[in-house]
Amino acid sequence: MADHWIENHKRDTWRRQAKASGYRARSAFKLKQIQERFKLIDKGDVILDVGCFPGGWTQVALELVGEEGDVVGVDLEPCQPIEGAVLLVGDITDPHTQDKVLAYLNGRQLNSIISDISPNITGKWDMDQAIAMTLVTEVFDFALPFLCKGGHFVTKLFQGVGVEELINAVRPHFEDVRRHSPHASRNSSSEVYLICRRYQPWAVADVNISDTYELELNKKLSGEDIEEGPEIIKSSFSVRKKKTE
């Protein structure tokens, strides 16, 4: 009960701060703290903000890229306009939405992809977590080919099955991949951010994070990496049906 009260209190503190600073969501502070720690976004950068509604991360990204930069946000929910940003409505996994993003970029590469995406929560934790992981792999597959050499990728994850497998799947593509929990999200025990720095497009020819992830996960879940069992020796043992009277 006491822990619950402290969590709510912290959450309210960030919410109040967000309101006072003009940010649309307290999540704005998570990106600010990630930026303070990792210095990912520079003036003039082109940024894709995935799952941008209501726009807190977009606001912070705009401040960081300045007037010469560009921020394009995508969400299932329509956002109120934010001056200086392009906000698209649609499902990031839908090819139509992806085409809209690419049309806007018009051949320009992304300096960073920032994704705070979280699917609708059904309340069944295992299922929600699994759906969230798959969604993240799909965002990687779509956006990674448009990330510039040396670019960065930040994404929210929910702790649970598959996190290690996802990290293993993306690690070869970046110089540095690590988990990070900004202060503003420490009250949400399950949430963590994956900070992937300095994209190395030359390191792996084929970008297919979803397939690599699924393969690794299936291996783990089916226990393929468990040592093979002993050879089965033929036996003359058999089960006979008991004769009925």
Ligand X SMILES: C[S@@+](CC[C@H](N)C(=O)[O-])C[C@H]1O[C@@H](n2cnc3c(N)ncnc32)[C@H](O)[C@@H]1O
When asked if residue 201 is in the footprint of ligand X (CB under 6 A), the reply is no
Task: Give dist(CA 140, CA 73) in Å, integer.
Answer: 15
3-class secondary-structure state, position 39: coil
Name the residue type at position 50: V
When asked if residue 54 is in the footprint of ligand X (CB under 6 A), the reply is yes
Name the residue type at position 86: V
Q: Residue 51 or residue 151: which is nearer to ligand X going by CB?
A: 51
- The tokens for 184 are 């503003």
Q: Residue 24 or residue 152: which is nearer to ligand X going by CB?
A: 24
When asked if residue 56 is in the footprint of ligand X (CB under 6 A), the reply is yes
Scanning residues 75 to 94, which ones bind ligand X (CB under 6 A)? 75-77, 91-93
Q: Which of 34, 40, 65, 74 binds ligand X (CB under 6 A)?
A: 74
Q: Which of 55, 69, 151, 162 binds ligand X (CB under 6 A)?
A: 55
Choice among 19, 32, 156, 234 that is catalytic: 156
Q: Residue 76 or residue 204: which is nearer to ligand X going by CB?
A: 76
156 is catalytic: yes
When asked if residue 118 is in the footprint of ligand X (CB under 6 A), the reply is yes
Q: Which among 20, 24, 26 is positioned nearest to 8, based on CA atoms?
A: 26
Name the residue type at position 240: R
Q: Which among 75, 149, 60, 145 is positioned nearest to 111, based on CA atoms?
A: 149
Residue located via tokens 């879940």: 221
Name the residue type at position 32: K
For binding to ligand X (CB under 6 A), which residues are involved? 24-25, 27-28, 51-57, 74-77, 91-93, 116-119
